[in-house]
Amino acid sequence: MSKVDKAIRERAEIWLTSVFDEETRKEVRRMMDEDTAALADAFYKDLEFGTGGLRGVMGVGTNRMNKYTVGMATQGLADYILKSFPALERPSVAIAHDCRNNSEYFTRITADVLTANGIQVFVFDDLRPTPLLSFAVRELKCQAGIVITASHNPPEYNGYKVYWEDGGQLVPPHDKNIIEEVTRTAVEDIRFQADPTLITKLEETFDRQYLKQIQSLSLNPEVNRSHSDLQIVFTPIHGTTVRLVPQALAAFGFKSVYNVPEQDVTDGNFPTVESPNPEEAAAFKMALDKAREVDADLVMATDPDGDRLGVGIKNDRGEYILLNGNQCATLLTWYILEQMKQKDGLTGREYIVKTIVTSDLLSRIAEDYDVEFYDVLTGFKYIAEKMRLLEGKKKFLCGGEESYGFLVGDLVRDKDAVISCCMVAEAAAWAKSRNMTLYDLLRSIYVKHGLYVESLVSLTRKGIEGGREIKAMMDRFRRQPPESISGLTVARILDYQSGIDRDIYLDQEFPIDLPSANVLQFVLEDGTRITMRPSGTEPKIKFYFSCNAGLDHIENYEKVREELLGRIKAIQEDLGTG
């Protein structure tokens, strides 16, 4: 134990007391005797709510997902709910879970603690996608919601996402207030004695309410019917959308949906992929094989909890290519605004939302349609917050983020891959009705609004030292920002932590009208934007790059795209992130 920091040792020794079960105590003793490195990583900090809530590796320790950390989080949440809604005789919470290992177990622990505190619980009878939980919170008029999920993280992770009464993930002040409640909660304070009479199961009949309301979002149902034979391959990558996406596509009118049988198996070990992340090309391999087999028009994959969507389409050579999150958001935003305009649905009250690291092309498109747009901090919870603030005043059309999350309409207050699958299919059917593909449509948007090319570099730095290294990187860029990058002058520096937008040319400072966040942006003289931020849910620092140029003709797409990619590569090498 001499190699372990004294504070870490003291934290671990608490877990050897009788308040913890024997299995937990046994594992702590094993780490003390045999694996002090694992002990240090398990106890050097507490799990905290980030942009996605509580998320971590499963196991014993304060920095792990386990019965006690989930119990303390739930007890703290229960205390906060009871304080926040004192006039309610019986507050209620909806709970859903994904396919991950221990998700059912953590769901049961969560329900037990909530009901032990006198809170009504609505819990789904089986795994369900995250957006359905957000829908349930609003539909059932709950005070909060919880999803047990680690989204697209590796199999050893699980998580705990909390939603407030508006159906959106926690935002200030609720997130910090709940953390304060959790921090004050000792393991001895957790009430594990459930009251089963306060639990109501949500079954497939509830799903049908959601599907019926999704169907009303269709902008061209007649086009869908006339192109019901659109060839679609879909995979849930072993996750929660295995039933709902095919059902939703059928409700939209699409009849030729092919699955990937091996990936329809719900399995928290994700046996057919290295990572269940639709942002990664490897996760698409089996779906693309199926697409070539059936000559599909469209390939779609969701992450395990069903809020992120990856899309594959054919290019002009008949080869399948994968769209990134910005491209998918571009297609959907343009399609929705164009159809609303054609149907005289734009009244001047409509708006869209994107995050500050998402392509500025969405803003350009909105401007062209005279639709208001808002930039918010990274994390879909801030899009949901904007929707809450503008509810009843303006009409939300859609919102997206570069990390493969998109939402159409206001049924839900989180990114929704079920709805997005339907709208991508509808956009493909509409394009087909005009003898176009989605690839043709995307390039035509670039010709009209400019070609934007984006790239993301994530540097993983695990453990205590990794956290220090990430902090040092951010501090260095703040203290000594570069005057130029790859031969281009830095024209603006936006520090979202201090809330200052500094224009180098004008030698003036302007306030940033957003909450403080550990994000730094450099805007170069040609409009290139570089953003850096530590991840709120993973041990990573992320660098976002965005370049743009005019595109005079669709045939020049590849040439201009390669030039922009070359520019991004040079910038990455200059910054040392290449």
Compute the C-alpha angle 145/149/153, nearest 5°: 145
Nearest-CA neighbor of 145 among 174, 116, 177, 184?
A: 174
Count CB-CB contacts under 10 A for residue 277.
23
Long-range contacts formed by 287-295: CB under 8 A, 24+ apart: 287/233, 287/234, 287/235, 287/260, 287/263, 287/312, 288/312, 288/320, 290/233, 290/258, 290/260, 291/233, 291/320, 292/320, 294/231, 294/233, 294/258, 295/231
Nearest-CA neighbor of 131 among 328, 390, 420, 329?
A: 420
Q: The sheet that has 320-323: what strands, in order across it?
A: 257-259, 232-235, 298-302, 309-314, 320-323
Contact in structure between 96 and 163 (CB atoms under 8 Å): no
The C-alpha atoms of residue 322 and residue 328 are separated, in whole angstroms, by 10
Please report, as a single letter, which amino acid is at residue 465: E
**Catalytic hit among 103, 151, 403, 420:** 151
Active site residue 151: yes
Place of tokens 């906060």: 80
List all residues 6 or more positions away from 392 whose beta carbon is below 8 Å from its beta carbon: none
Contact in structure between 507 and 496 (CB atoms under 8 Å): no
Tokens of 238: 């072993």
- The SS3 of residue 522 is strand
The C-alpha atoms of residue 416 and residue 481 are separated, in whole angstroms, by 37
Contact in structure between 160 and 71 (CB atoms under 8 Å): no
Helix (H) or strand (E) holding 339, with range, is: helix 325-342
Question: Which residues are annotated as catalytic?
Answer: 151
